[in-house]
Amino acid sequence: MNPLTRVFMRLTHGWRGDLLALVAGVATPLAFAPIAWWPLAVLTTAVLLAVWLFSAPRRAAWRGFLYGLGLFSVGISWVFISIHYHGYVDLGLALLLTLLLIVVMAMFPLLLGALLGRLFPQGFETRATRYKLLLVFPAAWALMEWTRGWFLTGFPWLSLGYSQTDSPLAGLAPLVGVYGVSWAVVFSAALLVGLLLDKAGRIFYSAMLVLLWLVAGVLNDVDWTRPHGAPLDVALLQGNIPQDLKWHPDVRRPTIELYTELTRQHWDADLIVWPETALPAFYYETESFLNDLEAEAQQYDTDMLIGMLTLDKDKRRYFNTMMSIGTQRGQYHKNHLVPFTEYLPLKSILGGLVSFMQVPMSDFSKGGADQAPLKVADQYAGISICFEDAFGEEIINALPEATLLVNVSNDAWFDDSWAPPQHLQMARMRALETGRPMLRATNTGISAVIDEKGRIIERAPQFQVASISATIQPRTGMTVYAVTANWLVVVVALLLIGVSFWRLRRAPVE
């Protein structure tokens, strides 16, 4: 037995292995924004894989849960801020609801650890465990994150691929999307474990690791899309309205005046974008104001995108809306709503939970998945509102017509936590996946202009009234990911797992 293998077996025995799994989970969020130590994602995942290799099924499940508990307790603790401070839920109940979400998310690595621990033997002395490490682990991880992205409407936060927006692995995003990048992170971690534990295969593991990162780095320089039309001068406005005041009647007029003043400073732009619900009123209440603003915009040949609420009076439904004004009117209604804050699942059963949480405007209707991009400044914009940009498979529905992406949000719900920089990082991934520039206008930050490579061109400081200007190049064409969505990763992952089982059944290991 390799001496290093003996060391690992001692380190992973009993409570030591449990502690390693927990520490790996706690450290992993540091790989994401705002800390952005992206190599850490590979290292912490390698620790978890090594721990799993030497765990019986029940222990592997427990260690998966500890990893998830550490990961989500640190990485999404900001959920508590929105529930308690802005949802006005009692401290004890807010803590309970936050813990419940963390536990539910931790169940995913728990189930993955249990499944892999049951299907493959412990240790690193057989062909089966090498299949498990190199083929099954990365593929199963990608499937786990993909499932987390749609199960119960989806919560894809802290998928490992997002941590790599500034690493060479970002070059894989236009091919395989965020879950494919996650696969590459876990595969890199598996190669590191193999490099340490499998003395006979060190040349192979080293070569594969170098090759993966080298190819990904080269792909960063590939242009998957091409310019379309003339560059656009754009301006993004950030009003910095505190969440606790946003819907107060006395603040409505000052808010409108602030955004109008900021707008008039940028009539030289082709496109001006206001954040999500920047206009703190229904469309029918401000129609006269919007008509006047539109007439003024037309004088300067400027188009605008404005976040507001719209109401279908006949059906008594209201929507979280982005409206285009200027050369032509258009609307996009938010479709992927946040459960328990924007709508209530099983409303007839759960009753007044949302009203109990006192969340303003918390009974939205869906806009529909087939909404067309909005025409602005002679281009077509794929619109997403709030956390809709967390779902790459939904963003590509606007392609190939959309030549740029626009996301508007109100991350004031999360104060000065890690949520806004994490959210910005996810928007950068959407730009990478689609090969399109992304305009991101937010209420309190982080507003940013992102190019088709996911690089930030301009960004506004948080918690300041600000506006940012930049020139972007709209683009056309389809990346591989835009054509295949997540199905390429899902199918390949299933094939790799299937082939591993088939090979092991044909050639039983010693």
Tokens of 234: 């754009």
Evaluate the omega torsion of the peptide bond into residue 34 and state whether it is cis, within 30 degrees of 0. Answer: yes
The letter for the amino acid at 120 is: F
The vertex-270 CA angle with 268 and 276, nearest 5°, equals 105
Question: What amino acid positions are annotated as catalytic residues?
Answer: 276, 334, 386
| Mean pLDDT, the chain cut into blocks of 10 residues (510 residues total) | 66 82 97 97 95 88 96 95 84 91 96 84 64 89 96 92 98 98 98 86 92 97 96 97 88 94 97 95 91 95 96 84 93 87 59 52 79 95 95 95 96 91 97 98 95 97 96 97 97 91 64
Q: Please write the tens of the pLDDT for every residue from 464-506.
A: 999 999 999 999 999 999 999 999 999 999 999 888 877 766 6
Collapsed DSSP state (helix, strand, coil) of residue 15:
helix
Identify the pLDDT of residue 120. 65
Q: Please write the tens of the pLDDT for every residue from 26-56.
A: 999 999 999 999 999 999 999 999 899 888 8
Neighbours of 377 (CB within 10 A): 26
Q: Angle 202-219/173-197 helices, nearest 10 degrees?
A: 160
Collapsed DSSP state (helix, strand, coil) of residue 476:
strand
Between the alpha carbon of residue 270 and those of residues 226, 449, 470, the distances in Å are 20, 14, 11
Identify the pLDDT of residue 317. 87
Identify the pLDDT of residue 510. 44
Whole-structure pTM value: 0.93
Tokens of 208: 């594969």
**210 Cβ partners below 8 Å, 6+ apart?**
none
Query: Maximum CA pair distance of the chain?
Result: 79
**425 Cβ partners below 8 Å, 6+ apart?**
32, 33, 36, 162, 163, 165
Q: Please write the tens of the pLDDT for every residue from 156-201.
A: 999 999 999 999 999 999 999 999 999 999 999 999 998 888 777 8
**300 Cβ partners below 8 Å, 6+ apart?**
267, 268
Tell me phi and psi for residue 339, to 5 degrees: -60, 145
Identify the pLDDT of residue 128. 67
Expressed in angstroms, the distance from the first to the final Cα of the chain is 15
203 alpha carbon, distance to own chain's centre: 36
How far apart (Å, rounded) are the C-alpha atoms in residues 318 and 363? 8
Phi-psi region of 182 (alpha: psi -120 to 50; beta: other; left: phi over 0): alpha
Identify the pLDDT of residue 322. 96
Identify the pLDDT of residue 55. 84
Cβ 276 vs Cβ 442: under 8 Å: yes
Tell me phi and psi for residue 76, to 5 degrees: -125, 30
How far apart (Å, rounded) are the C-alpha atoms in residues 456 and 446? 11
How far apart (Å, rounded) are the C-alpha atoms in residues 445 and 339? 23
Cβ 156 vs Cβ 394: under 8 Å: no
How far apart (Å, rounded) are the C-alpha atoms in residues 454 and 440? 12
Neighbours of 10 (CB within 10 A): 12
Identify the pLDDT of residue 480. 97
Phi-psi region of 241 (alpha: psi -120 to 50; beta: other; left: phi over 0): beta
How far apart (Å, rounded) are the C-alpha atoms in residues 67 and 103? 11
Tokens of 486: 């997540």
